[in-house]
């Protein structure tokens, strides 16, 4: 089989030469004397004031004629996207977004042309299957600036995205999940072995790290039949997870000013500590891994792992699944498959620890079926309380924490009681919907799995319609079933095998929201329970 070439991958763009025009300022004076001595300083300051004044007048004039000027929101949000940038930069916008809607209502302006929505009625119109609302330019910062490069997550081309999903969604379908179960089982045993070594010690365990190591190794095993080795080594190999974090920070913030992305990326991609440099590192990591694994596979034969199946389709129908399709889909697995599942697993375990009655009830259901906790995927789908626990954990702590931005189509759109002109950017934050008391009741802030089991038919229908931890419509996460598989397999094993105690039981955990709402201090004491494994 021909080995795919990686020489044209979008990771070797030339870095423009940069020379700092700075000189030594060690002898420069400060204060009024310095102002007088530095030639042109006063003129520069005056020019800056004039430019700022003109900009402010222009923005105020623009706001005055805005057809949506009556939409409420923070005053500074009317003038520039800088206000939104400053809020996102704080790392807790999921909470801020909820507060904004509590203060201003179901439609809130958060920048001159961006509007956050928080009403179930808006979901069907903006995110329905046949919706013609395209993804906004914010997603541009999640891909290489070259126009011919795309991934399923960042692709704004509706037709191409639909075509890609049509070709490859079978690899992620519920019917395919059972074929990946053995890879999850293998990785689970490695994690439990490491947990056994750590359990009972006086020191706490950082569950965020270990669950991310697990999720990353699972996706490596599913994709290549080989885990990346994070669990085995117990560390961040080659700082790949740090690179993922830097990439999230870069894409989240630069996406607010997407016009900056091509220029910033061009300059920053050669700097290892930058978000753009992290993107290059991750792309090279994926490209090299594909090349190595492809070369190791002597034949396509029967499909086993994800890459095997892609290769099989490529061999039979190279026009249907090209080498670039293989690269793009594997990138999607690695980039999204680790972080989203790690956050979701953390949410499940954390909420179980904080709610011991739920933990005990779930544990009893598990041991009644299988004392060791080794539940099969098929068995898990017939365990209503397990599924309710997972569903409720992803409701109170969905992985993504920013609005899912979409652009109103040609001709505009009537959303709720407003007409939004074409080109307006609207979006719903999963957190605002999941904490909507009109849908989930006055106890929406409470972790209560029973709500999914005791609600009447109409209430359950409304809750399901507003439940969106994996997105909605044609943009629903392709890997959601794989993520659910991991949770359904690992959670029963952890619940049966260990007792957990939070290091800070009286304090809620801290999180950092740069697209993914990741816990930053999920430290626990772990004790091994008496069970057969």
DSSP states of 305-365 as a string?
A: SHHHHHHHHHHH-TTTS-HHHHHHHHHHHHHHHHHHHHHHHHHHHHHHHH-HHHHHHHHHH
Mean pLDDT (whole number) for 333-361: 93
Contact 366, 496 (CB under 8 A): yes
Instruction: Name the binding residues for heme.
Output: 477
What pLDDT score does 65 carry? 54
Instruction: Name the binding residues.
Output: 477
Mean pLDDT (whole number) for 26-49: 52
55 pLDDT above the threshold of 60: no
529 pLDDT above the threshold of 60: yes
What pLDDT score does 25 carry? 33
Query: Could you tell me which of 358, 357, 431, 363 has the C-alpha nearest to residue 394?
Result: 431
What pLDDT score does 123 carry? 94
What pLDDT score does 20 carry? 33
Q: What number of residues does the chain have?
A: 533
What pLDDT score does 15 carry? 30
What pLDDT score does 395 carry? 98
Report long-range pairs for 79-85 (Cβ below 8 Å, ≥24 apart).
Answer: 79/112, 80/111, 80/112, 81/111, 81/112, 81/114, 81/256, 81/257, 83/110, 83/111, 84/110, 84/111, 84/114, 84/256, 85/253, 85/256, 85/257
The β-bridge partners of 419 are 414
408 pLDDT above the threshold of 50: yes
Mean pLDDT (whole number) for 185-205: 92
What DSSP line would sit under 46-109, residue for residue? HHHHHHHHHHHHHHHHHHHT-TTTTS---GGGGT-THHHHHHHHTT-HHHHHHHHHHHH-SEEE
Exposure on the CB side of residue 351, measured as CA atoms within 13 A: 26
Burial of 158 (0-12, 13-18, 19+ CB in 10 A): middle
Q: Kindly give the pairing relationship between strand 511-514 and strand 498-502.
A: unpaired
Query: Could you tell me which of 73, 57, 172, 168 has the C-alpha nearest to residue 478?
Result: 172
Contact 281, 289 (CB under 8 A): no
For residue 505, give both structure tokens.
């039981």
What pLDDT score does 116 carry? 98
Contact 401, 94 (CB under 8 A): yes
What pLDDT score does 190 carry? 97
Instruction: Give the confidence band of 335 by pLDDT, cuts at 50, 70, 90.
Output: confident
What pLDDT score does 109 carry? 97
Distances (CA, A) of 501 to 190, 204, 234, 354, 526: 22, 9, 21, 9, 7
Contact 400, 515 (CB under 8 A): yes
457 pLDDT above the threshold of 90: yes
Comparing 15-29, 179-193, 237-251, 466-480, the range with the smallest average pLDDT is 15-29
CA-to-CA distance for 157 and 147, rounded, in angstroms?
11
What pLDDT score does 16 carry? 29
In 355-453, DSSP assigns E strands to 406-407, 413-415, 418-420, 425-428
The β-bridge partners of 12 are none
Domain range 68-528, CATH architecture:
Orthogonal Bundle (1.10)
Query: Could you tell me which of 122, 125, 126, 118 has the C-alpha nearest to residue 434?
Result: 118
CA-to-CA distance for 141 and 143, rounded, in angstroms?
6
Mean pLDDT (whole number) for 136-160: 87
Give the distance from CA 115 to its chain's centroid.
Answer: 21
What interhelical angle do 181-198 and 207-224 show, nearest 10?
Answer: 150
Three-class SS of residue 200? coil
Comparing 80-94, 95-109, 217-231, the range with the smallest average pLDDT is 217-231
Instruction: Give the confidence band of 384 by pLDDT, cuts at 50, 70, 90.
Output: very high
What pLDDT score does 11 carry? 39
What pLDDT score does 182 carry? 94
Contact 247, 279 (CB under 8 A): yes
Instruction: Give the confidence band of 488 by pLDDT, cuts at 50, 70, 90.
Output: very high
Eight-class DSSP state of 374: -
What pLDDT score does 66 carry? 63
CA-to-CA distance for 68 and 71, rounded, in angstroms?
6
CA-to-CA distance for 288 and 323, rounded, in angstroms?
14
Q: What is the pLDDT of residues 101-143, one digit of tens each?
A: 999 999 999 999 999 999 999 998 999 887 889 999 999 999 8
What pLDDT score does 360 carry? 97
Q: What is the mean pLDDT of the chain?
A: 86
46 pLDDT above the threshold of 50: yes
259 pLDDT above the threshold of 90: yes
What pLDDT score does 49 carry? 61
What pLDDT score does 34 carry? 38
300 pLDDT above the threshold of 70: no
10 pLDDT above the threshold of 60: no
Instruction: Give the confidence band of 373 by pLDDT, cuts at 50, 70, 90.
Output: very high
Comparing 6-10, 44-48, 144-148, 325-329, the range with the smallest average pLDDT is 6-10
What pLDDT score does 96 carry? 98
Instruction: Give the confidence band of 173 by pLDDT, cuts at 50, 70, 90.
Output: confident
What pLDDT score does 312 carry? 86
Instruction: Give the confidence band of 40 by pLDDT, cuts at 50, 70, 90.
Output: low
Backbone angles phi, psi at 273, to 5 degrees: -85, -5
Contact 117, 426 (CB under 8 A): yes
Query: Could you tell me which of 289, 352, 294, 347 has the C-alpha nearest to residue 486?
Result: 347
Query: Could you tell me which of 194, 221, 218, 151 has the C-alpha nearest to residue 477?
Result: 151
What pLDDT score does 338 carry? 84
Instruction: Give the confidence band of 47 by pLDDT, cuts at 50, 70, 90.
Output: low
Instruction: Give the confidence band of 58 by pLDDT, cuts at 50, 70, 90.
Output: very low
What pLDDT score does 394 carry? 98
What pLDDT score does 337 carry? 76
């Amino acid at each position: 089989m021909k080995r795919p070439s990686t020489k044209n991958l979008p990771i070797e763009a030339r870095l423009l030469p940069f020379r700092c025009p700075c000189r030594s300022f060690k002898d420069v004076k400060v204060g009024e004397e310095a102002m007088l001595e530095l030639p042109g300083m006063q003129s520069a300051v005056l020019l800056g004031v004039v430019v700022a004044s003109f900009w402010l007048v222009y923005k105020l004039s623009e706001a005055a004629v805005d057809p949506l000027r009556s939409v409420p929101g923070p005053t500074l949000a009317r003038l520039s996207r800088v206000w939104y940038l400053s809020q996102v930069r704080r790392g807790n916008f999921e909470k801020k977004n909820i507060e904004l809607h509590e203060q201003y209502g179901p439609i809130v302006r958060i920048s001159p042309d961006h509007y956050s929505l928080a009403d179930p009625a808006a979901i069907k119109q903006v995110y329905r299957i046949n919706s013609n609302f395209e993804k906004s330019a914010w997603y541009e910062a999640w891909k290489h600036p070259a126009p011919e490069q795309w991934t399923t997550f960042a692709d704004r081309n509706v037709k191409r995205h639909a075509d890609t999903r049509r070709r490859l969604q079978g690899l992620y379908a519920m019917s395919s999940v059972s074929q990946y179960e053995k890879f999850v089982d293998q990785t689970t045993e490695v994690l439990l072995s490491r947990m056994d070594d750590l359990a009972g010690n006086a020191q706490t365990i950082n569950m965020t790290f270990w669950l991310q190591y697990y999720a990353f190794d699972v996706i490596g095993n599913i994709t290549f039949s080989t885990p990346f080795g994070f669990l085995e080594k117990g560390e961040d190999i080659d700082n790949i997870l740090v690179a993922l974090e830097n990439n999230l920070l870069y894409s989240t913030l630069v996406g607010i000013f997407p016009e900056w992305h091509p220029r910033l990326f061009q300059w920053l991609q050669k700097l290892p500590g930058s978000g753009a440099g992290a993107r290059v590192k991750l792309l090279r990591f994926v490209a090299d891994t594909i090349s190595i694994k492809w070369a190791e596979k002597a034949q396509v034969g029967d499909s086993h792992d994800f890459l095997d199946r892609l290769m099989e389709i490529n061999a039979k129908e190279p026009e249907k699944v090209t080498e670039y399709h293989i690269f793009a889909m594997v990138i999607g697995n690695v980039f999204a498959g680790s972080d989203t599942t790690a956050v979701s697993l953390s949410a499940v375990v954390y909420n179980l620890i904080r709610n011991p009655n739920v933990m005990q009830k779930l544990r009893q259901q598990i041991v009644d079926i299988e004392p060791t906790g080794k539940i099969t995927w098929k068995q898990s789908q017939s365990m209503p309380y397990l599924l309710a626990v997972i569903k409720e954990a992803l409701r109170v702590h969905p992985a993504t924490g920013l609005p899912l931005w979409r652009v109103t189509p040609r001709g505009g759109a009537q959303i709720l009681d407003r007409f939004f002109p074409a080109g307006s950017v609207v979006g719903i934050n999963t957190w605002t919907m999941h904490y909507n008391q009109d849908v989930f009741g006055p106890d929406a802030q409470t972790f209560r799995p029973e709500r999914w089991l005791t609600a009447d038919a109409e209430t359950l229908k409304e809750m399901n319609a507003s439940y969106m931890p994996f997105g909605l419509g044609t943009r629903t996460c392709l890997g959601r079933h794989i993520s659910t598989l991991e949770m359904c397999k690992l959670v029963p094993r952890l619940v049966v095998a260990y007792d957990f105690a939070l290091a800070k039981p009286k304090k809620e955990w801290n999180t950092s929201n740069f697209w993914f709402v990741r816990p930053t201090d999920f430290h626990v004491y772990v004790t091994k329970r008496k069970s057969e494994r």
